[in-house]
A and B are shown apart, each in its own frame.
Chain A
Amino acid sequence: MKNLINIYRILAVFFLGMAAIPLPAQEEGDKLTEEVPVRFDIQNRLSMTASVVTITAEELENVYDNDIADALAGRLPGLTVMQTSGGSTESSPTLYVRGRSSFNTASPLVFVDGLQSSLSGLMLSDIESISVLKDAAALSLYGQDGADGIIYVKTKRGVEGKPKVSVSVRHGWQQFTEKPEFVDAYTYATMYNEALSNDNGAWTQFYTDAQLDAYRSGDASTVAHYDLLYPNVNWYEKVLNKFAPETSAEASVSGGNKNIRYYVMGAFQDVRGLYKCVEKERDTNSNLDDQRFNFRINLDARISDIFDLKTNLSGQIRNQYRPNVGTSTLWKELLTTPANAFPVETEEGYGGNAYYTNPVADVLAQGWFNTHSRVVESSFTLGQNLDFILKGLRLEESIALYSLHQQKYRKARTYQQFEPYLDPTDAIAYNAYGTQTTDFTITNTGTSYNDMTNRLQEEVTARYGRKFGDQSIAASVSFHNDSYTITGLNQPLVTRGFAGRVGYGFDDRFFAEFDWSWYGKSAYAPSKNMGFFPAASLAYIIANNGADANVNFLKVRLSSGLSGMADLSTATNYYMYQQYWHSSAVGAQFGWAGTSGKSGLFEYYQANPDASWETLFRSNAGIDARLFKNRLSLNADVFYDRRTGILVNANVPDYFGLLSDKNVGDGVVSNCGLDGAMSWSDRIGDFRYTLSGTFSFAHSHIVNMNEAPTLFAYQRQTGRSVGVSKRYVADGFYTSADEISALPSMLGEVTVGDVKYKDLNSDGRIDSDDATFDGDFFSTVPEISYGLRINLAWKGFDFEMGGYGFARRQIDMYNNATQAFSNGLYNVSAYAVANRWAYWPEKGIDTRDSATFPRLTLGSNTNNTVNSTLWFQDGSLFRINNITLGYTFDKRISSRLGAASLRLYLAVINPFVFDSVYGDAEYMASYPLMKTYKCGLNLNF
């Protein structure tokens, strides 16, 4: 027995853990003393030296977005959220923490209760808090997973007391934020004539005046077969409804006693799409539909003085339906099918022709595609309080499992489409395209590459914390093992290593902390796959006065250290250190044709035995403050990054004879910026208000990317920001043949009205040497993102309005929603019609002075569509993404219903956007973002 105790003592010396530090009294729920989850620990905000921003369930009260990530936009300083497409059915937003400090990786990893997971599996009722880990002191513990930032979610747990029941139901109606304008048949036909004339250099009509008249003012009484031969179809209206419904309901029960506590939650969410499908039955209905069923059981149990137990079990079943045509394909069809292409339906069946498929038929006649996914996450943590060995020592062992299984199921049929035309006797005849199948074919498409993933994590942690007079010591160390398997990649990725922290506190004023991890991943060479990531940090509380002071609280923080990011997707070979041999698909041919084609085995990309991860050195300085009687709270951080080891191509001589892969860590990027949040709260009588804002700025600079030498300095990407593309500088349009012969373009055949570019190297022609990185160019990821929010409360009423914005951002405006007649096919966009260059004096057309879009053409016109300053436009925007008005009934009323509280609310998600481009600056030419009107109630018992 004595030996055992000695073993424990030895272990205890080895494992040092964190103590709970006694704190000055603060208000309950005050952000200054909130508990912040950090890796394998919970820290008190007051003693934290790291830069971590947290948003709690309370602050998310008015969030009703279907995807939680959408709701985070503008709420957390340092986090940039870009919504990509509408409807949770299609895609989740893209997240960046502190911009992009690598040109390869960028996305922060998400941890839920210590387990690597994703945000899309969570429901609102799950969430206790969401934190963004920003500096080295917080990230170094994550080894090669930390450098792109971490989003850490803590789920709700039971608290001692009587069972608390909470019910929330809501219903909503979704609508477009902005719908592209649709060009009618007459306008299309006139523009087609203009494009043809532009190509021919003389006015040429494809559509005759009679046809144009018919499109403009014809009807069935004046033109034979008018509806069939002169269709004017607004495809948006034919395919899309004005509104689509959505419903969700969540219920939870929590409570417990001193031995066992529980939190149990169940939720349902159903979001429909905008497609017009009359059938209610799922059998034939092909509308978008995203159904989610979630549950969660979080238990905490105390077994004895020594042992305690914590388990989480949560899961999601998700059923997603879409028409049997890809959403991006369908949206391309909607945008690019001309109004006069064909009628929606003919007496034979759906309209159509050889060039376009019928968007209406694609939705209604092809069946549907179903993705069914199941996620189970569970964790089991056994704790031991080892005070009997060493006071303040605690051990925890966890095992956690994440499992995703996806099945894809398709119910398909094909349809025939018919093109009406006049036969020689002036009767209607039809060309038929495609084949008609009446019965559905049902296929289970099976599992593909990432349809099944499994993650098994094990963690052992020892913590120690003790206070000695004014001084406190806190330390912890943990071992972590994570095995991640994706079907199709039969080699599991194993992440393994140790991490720990040592903290010292003095007088509850001064805090110092050292964090480290020694982590590795199995993707690197065995002898070189472990890395050490240390970080040191300090915090000093300058002032901590009572609530009546003007400076209530002031703290400064400093941190500096390393974190890593394993980039396993940039290089061609997953195991970059191993030399691979491949077989070529095409190879040498011997003998007479076709008799003897031989495939060849060849050495694949050159391996890099030293392949490694990106290392981020980040320094951070921050302040946290409360001023003016706690009315103003403020936090702000500045940071400077230098990221090394970014994978780039090798730099060996060509005669070496192996193709170089992007597997050499010579890339270096620096990145700096600042982020912060401020809020002002006060009350005037019964009226309470809060104004708050967040701000994030990050500017990157490529220091090295092994770039090949360029002839001209302006062509160097090194020194520019990450993600900025090379562009031609548009310089108006060619106005005469002389101008063209003085400055010919090698980018394509040009004529008057085509885009003229600046001849940057003055060699008398426009070619690839004239594209430049030098200019006020930004990438699509904004350098500045910010959020503004106002909360008001008066008696039972509450009101919130919030939004987020981007600045220093540019987007490519050439896409399906702005194009015109690509290669002679496709619709012409309203954007092109309004802004095109055109000069036909005899027709009274002259838009030369106002044009911002090149001449219309039926050709491919590569000169006009290259990346240029004509197409890259200011992508700044401000979007109000939430307005909520709620009313909480008086306790006397709610108690009559047997409820502790009852609240009704109305909310609008994404009501307004302010930007300076055509369409919505955040999504282009895809399923649009949704403006959603919601009403709901919260009921607590």
Chain B
Amino acid sequence: MKTYKNILRLCAVIICLASLNSCLSILEKPSSSDVTLDTIFSNRDYAESALYNIYYQLVPRGFPYTNGNYPENKSLQSQTQFSRSLLASITDECCNYRGATPGRYVNVAGFDAITASRNQEDSWAHRWPGIRAAWTFIKNIDKVPDEEIPDAEKTQMIAEAKALIALAYMDMLPRYAAMPIVDHPLGEGDATLLVQRSTLKETIDFILKLCEEAIPDLPDTYPSNMRGRVTKGVPLCIKSRTLLYAASPLFNSSASDMILDYDHPEFVCLEGYDKERWLKAAEAANDVLVWASTAGVSLITAADIAGGETDPKHNAYGYATSEKDNKEVILANKGYSSSNNGFGDGIFWTFSLRGMSVMLNIIKYFRKADASDQTWPTTLNEHRPFSEYTTKMNEMEPRFLQCVWPAGQAAPNFTKTGDYTKWPFGKIDDQMSASDMHGVGPMVKFCYNYSGELMKDWIVFRLAEFYLNYAEATAEYYGSADAKTPTGLYTAAQAVDVIRTRGGIRVLNAAEKADFHTQIVRERAVELFAEGHRWWDCKRWKIADDTFGGTLYTLRFVQNVAGSTATSYTEYYLAEHAEPRVWTKAMYFYPFPQEEVDKGYLVQNPGY
């Protein structure tokens, strides 16, 4: 009996100790197959995927994302974060009238630092994940074994990543001026995460340095299935645009010329005018033109298009701004691998809810086909016969009809038929209310040969821009339209003439050469219409108070329907004020979000 008891006791102890045994193992996550940094930089597929992610995040896209929905990682590649709007809709180029779209928000409320919904033209946060990914890529790509990716290719990939970082900074430069310089993946090994704004000069130098480092390692071209990647031309373009901004009056000035009083002039100007900046800008633009001539990049002419010579509408310009991968485009955002890339929604054909229409203010920059100026109605609300409108429209230069769709006519550049033949589809009547579409006509740029596709490339760099960059900088430096830089391919005037000739109007005459800056302003407004330049051009020339702060004008079309038959109506058009817009001097720069300022590293821009 005693033995039995002892056995029981022994059992008790064993049970007890055995169960305590499990306490001693450490509590942790079981092993798993998670993807880590080391996995990514172990083979070609993963490493390429990491590189493509940088493209996805950093190449600007001016067409909006459908409905403003964000992709999974919330970092929009769109330059403008408007849902259903374009940057042009907050300039004097276009309006986007119906509904409380974010584009309209900027127009009615301006920017402020606190209400995020008002600042939807740009999100301060959205490029940084791409910049981080690029630095992480540059830091780790060497870990990939050579048999997976050879050294030469790694070097090229690093150059691509650097150019993309420069592109992101170039994109932020006119918005925010001086920025914090992030030059490595932050975190590991950093004593502090606090990166304050560098000066404007340092920011510009940082962009230029990245470009210089990238240029030697990049190819001139890619196979056709890799169009959209960074060529040698891209950092050259970044340099040209950055240096043009640096040379222009907004930045190239002393503290006393600032738009608003500000304690930190080093953040918003280069603290003194330096004429040499124009020369650098001219040379950088010339570098693009020189590179283009050797790399197979050139302006589209009528001869490049099958049947183009006979097209009365002279569609070389429409082709160059609409066709994917044409030889004039140096870099384009080629959309997402998804049909929701926003093109169809941003330029919405039925205009029942949204869409772009062109303002009367901007079409004054366009000329008639004979290069003389058109006369537009100046008396508000004066009823004028509709036929006069049609006549005036048909007198305009060819590029005009690649940008504007005259009311009551077939779309000038569509191959798609059906409902797309006439705007606004017989709905002109006196019941059009204040919320209906206004404008000279709908915008149809980017729609050459439009046949209903949902995907369009957004042009980031197009060769034509650099002719104009060159012309402007050269003329500013030498004070003459006939000057050229030591290595220049053209004189300033010749460069403009190249663009005018391609556009289908005659070259500059002597009087126009003498008033060259005015011609530059006009030519940029026309050639680069709606491509996202005017918002910055007017600011760098410091004329935004007039162009954006002035009154906007539009036309309105009225069709009095007698009875229900469409045959007996009288129609007329009239000029009137467009919706009032908010413009303040503070809007020369964008505010940093207040919550970022509160984190203690940023000094807010003036006026916010």
Per the CB 8 Å criterion, the residue count for chain A at the interface is 77
A692, B226: Cα distance in complex, Å: 79
A589 touches B336 (CB 8 A): yes
B74 nearest CB neighbor, chain A only: A659
Q: What chain A residues lie within 8 Å of B57 (beta carbons)?
A: 600, 602
Q: What chain A residues lie within 8 Å of B50 (beta carbons)?
A: 600-602
Chain A 176-214 interface 0/1 with B at a Cβ cutoff of 8 Å (1 = within): 000000000000000000000000000000000000000
A491 CB-CB contact with B under 8 Å: yes
A748 CB-CB contact with B under 8 Å: yes
A841 CB-CB contact with B under 8 Å: no
B71 CB-CB contact with A under 8 Å: yes
B541 CB-CB contact with A under 8 Å: no
B229 touches A590 (CB 8 A): yes
Stretch with Cβ within 8 A of A (4 or more), from B32-40, B208-216, B287-295 = B32-40
Task: Name A388-422 residues within 8 Å CB distance of B.
Answer: 395, 397
Q: What chain A residues lie within 8 Å of B55 (beta carbons)?
A: 588, 590, 598, 600
A4 touches B13 (CB 8 A): yes
B305 CB-CB contact with A under 8 Å: no
Shortest C-beta distance, B561 to chain A (Å), equals: 16
B23 touches A479 (CB 8 A): yes
B114 touches A710 (CB 8 A): yes
Number of A-B contacts (CB under 8 A): 235
B543 CB-CB contact with A under 8 Å: no
Using known A-B contacts A520-B27, A746-B105, determine if residue A458 contacts B49 with beta carbons closer than 8 Å. Answer: no
B72 touches A307 (CB 8 A): no
Shortest C-beta distance, A314 to chain B (Å), equals: 23
Task: Name B158-203 residues within 8 Å CB distance of A.
Answer: 180, 182, 185-187, 193-195
Task: Name A592-622 residues within 8 Å CB distance of B.
Answer: 592-593, 595-604
Shortest C-beta distance, A262 to chain B (Å), equals: 24
Shortest C-beta distance, B560 to chain A (Å), equals: 18
A346, B446: Cα distance in complex, Å: 52
A382 CB-CB contact with B under 8 Å: yes
Residue from the list B27, B73, B124 in contact with A659, Cβ < 8 A: B73
Using known A-B contacts A601-B35, A655-B182, determine if residue A496 contacts B23 with beta carbons closer than 8 Å. Answer: yes
A492, B335: Cα distance in complex, Å: 41
A603 touches B114 (CB 8 A): no
Q: What chain B residues lie within 8 Å of A492 (beta carbons)?
A: 30
A395 touches B16 (CB 8 A): yes
B28 touches A657 (CB 8 A): no
B228 CB-CB contact with A under 8 Å: yes
A602 touches B53 (CB 8 A): yes
Q: A575-B29, A583-B49, A603-B133 are in contact. List 11 more A-B contacts (CB 8 A).
A: A522-B27, A587-B337, A588-B55, A592-B227, A597-B338, A598-B56, A600-B55, A602-B50, A708-B594, A765-B108, A768-B115
A588, B335: Cα distance in complex, Å: 7
Shortest C-beta distance, A14 to chain B (Å), equals: 10
A residues apposed to B, CB below 8 Å: 1, 4, 7-8, 11, 304, 306-307, 382, 384, 386, 395, 397, 458, 460, 479, 481, 491-492, 494, 496, 498, 520-523, 526, 529-530, 575, 578-593, 595-604, 651-659, 708-711, 746-749, 765, 767-769
Q: What chain A residues lie within 8 Å of B453 (beta carbons)?
A: 593
Shortest C-beta distance, A841 to chain B (Å), equals: 22
Using known A-B contacts A581-B37, A591-B226, A659-B129, determine if residue A709 contacts B324 with beta carbons closer than 8 Å. Answer: no
B225 touches A746 (CB 8 A): no
A655 touches B195 (CB 8 A): yes
Residue from the list B6, B28, B54, B133 in contact with A526, Cβ < 8 A: B28
B29 touches A491 (CB 8 A): yes
Chain B 54-91 interface 0/1 with A at a Cβ cutoff of 8 Å (1 = within): 11110100000000000111110100000000000000
A657 touches B182 (CB 8 A): yes
A591 touches B193 (CB 8 A): no
B27 touches A709 (CB 8 A): no
A658, B127: Cα distance in complex, Å: 10
A592 touches B325 (CB 8 A): yes
A521 touches B27 (CB 8 A): yes
Q: What chain A residues lie within 8 Å of B364 (beta carbons)?
A: none
Q: What chain B residues lie within 8 Å of A496 (beta carbons)?
A: 23, 27
Q: What chain B residues lie within 8 Å of A520 (beta carbons)?
A: 27
A658 touches B53 (CB 8 A): no
Q: What chain B residues lie within 8 Å of A748 (beta carbons)?
A: 100
Residue from the list B9, B130, B595 in contact with A306, Cβ < 8 A: B9
A-B pairs with beta carbons under 8 Å apart, 17 shown: A306-B12, A496-B23, A496-B27, A522-B27, A522-B30, A526-B27, A582-B72, A585-B71, A588-B56, A592-B325, A595-B225, A600-B55, A653-B596, A654-B593, A657-B132, A657-B182, A709-B595
A529 nearest CB neighbor, chain B only: B27
A584 touches B13 (CB 8 A): no
Chain B 308-319 interface 0/1 with A at a Cβ cutoff of 8 Å (1 = within): 000000000000
Residue from the list B34, B72, B115, B593 in contact with A584, Cβ < 8 A: B72
Residue from the list A397, A656, A749 in contact with B132, Cβ < 8 A: A656
A578 touches B100 (CB 8 A): no
B23 nearest CB neighbor, chain A only: A479
B133 touches A479 (CB 8 A): no
B337 nearest CB neighbor, chain A only: A597
B6 touches A1 (CB 8 A): yes
Residue from the list B22, B187, B225, B594 in contact with A590, Cβ < 8 A: B225
Q: What chain B residues lie within 8 Å of A600 (beta carbons)?
A: 49-50, 52-57
A290, B13: Cα distance in complex, Å: 48
Q: What chain B residues lie within 8 Å of A658 (beta carbons)?
A: 129, 132
A590, B224: Cα distance in complex, Å: 9
Among all A-B residue pairs, the 10 with the closest Cβ atoms:
A597-B337, A657-B132, A600-B53, A591-B225, A598-B52, A526-B28, A588-B55, A588-B56, A654-B125, A657-B128
A653 touches B133 (CB 8 A): no
B489 CB-CB contact with A under 8 Å: no
Residue from the list A578, A585, A601, A656 in contact with B49, Cβ < 8 A: A601
